[in-house]
Structure formats: structure tokens, C-alpha cells
Amino acid sequence: MRNYELMVVIDSSSDAEKIDRTVNKIQETLTEKGGKILSVDHWGRRRLAYEIQRRQYGFYVLFAFEFDPKEVKDLNRLLRLNQMVLRHLILVLDPRVIAMQPRRPKEEVLETPDAVPSAAVALEGDIIAEEVEAPGMEEMLPAQENQVSEEKTPPASDEPETMPEKGKE
């Protein structure tokens, strides 16, 4: 069993009930084929970067799951045949990346589509680099308040430097 991530863009022109059924059908397919769903993030309706099948908006859903590598080809085929799925992408997650990500509480793992989080909440579990100052750095850095640049610049001459013309040597 490997860890995978599946991003699905569902046709948002249909009603919320159809979108819910499509998401539930994908979840059922994953579990029927022996997979274990780790998380489902409903990103909601967003504008597409370019039109797909004359649609400007799509409903984004991100699945994280454990799955047998032999079944991925069949899952890919089923998603391609589903008329509600505009685009999908299945990625294999690197185990080192998974170990670095913080685990979410179980209540947040399987959300209902009624409680669609905003983009800021959906990205809450992502690792964000923070600016951290190491202890003792104050002593190592020079005080910039009272420091005057002591670099000497060459005096500027009134005459501009000229290059010799070609052919007149």
C-alpha cells in the first residue's frame, strides 16, 4: 500500500446534490478497491485557469489515501469515464513528506460538503516556513544603528572615461 493524493475538479454547473454524489462515489470506489481514505478536503468552487468543456468554474476536492499500486490504473479509468469529473490528477506521495506533515484531528478528516472551508482553512495543515531567529544572534550581528559605512569610494573625476575609437589606433 502506498500513499496517494487525488485532486478532482468536478463540474460546478450542476447542483450541490450531484456534486455530493460524485464525491461519495469516489470515496466508495476508493474503499471498495481496498483503499483507506486519510483525508478529504473540499476546496469549493473556484475559477479555472482556462476553460474546460466550456466551463469557467469547477468544484475542487483533494483526497489523501492509501491504495494498492495495482489498482491505480483502474481508478484512473473510472475517473476518466465519470462525466462529472472535468479533470483529475493522482500523485504518489513521498514518505518523507508525509512524515513531516502534521496529522489533523479525526473530526476534520472526513468533512461534509456542507462545511466547505475557506482557502486559508484548507491550507492550515500545510507546512509554512516561519522566520525564526536563533538565540544569541544579537551578539553575532553588528549593531546597525551607529555604524557608518567606512568603504572608500574612488573620487569622481569631472571628465568621463572614454573608450578609444576603433580604427584610429
pLDDT for 86-118, tens place per residue? 999 999 988 777 677 676 554 454 444 444 443
Class in CATH terms, 2-104:
alpha beta
- Residue 84: all three cell numbers together: 462529472
Q: What is the largest CA-CA distance in the chain?
A: 86
- The dihedral through the CA atoms of 70, 72, 77, 78 has a sign that is positive
CA-to-CA distance for 64 and 107, rounded, in angstroms?
15
- C-alpha closest to that of 11 among 40, 37, 45, 43: 45
Higher pLDDT, residue 127 or 92 = 92
> Is the pLDDT assigned to residue 13 strictly greater than 50?
yes
Paired strand residues for 90? 6
Domain limits, the chain? 2-104
User: Which of 23-32, 84-93, 119-128, 131-140 has the least mean pLDDT?
Assistant: 119-128
How many residues does this entry show for the chain?
169
CA-to-CA distance for 66 and 38, rounded, in angstroms?
7
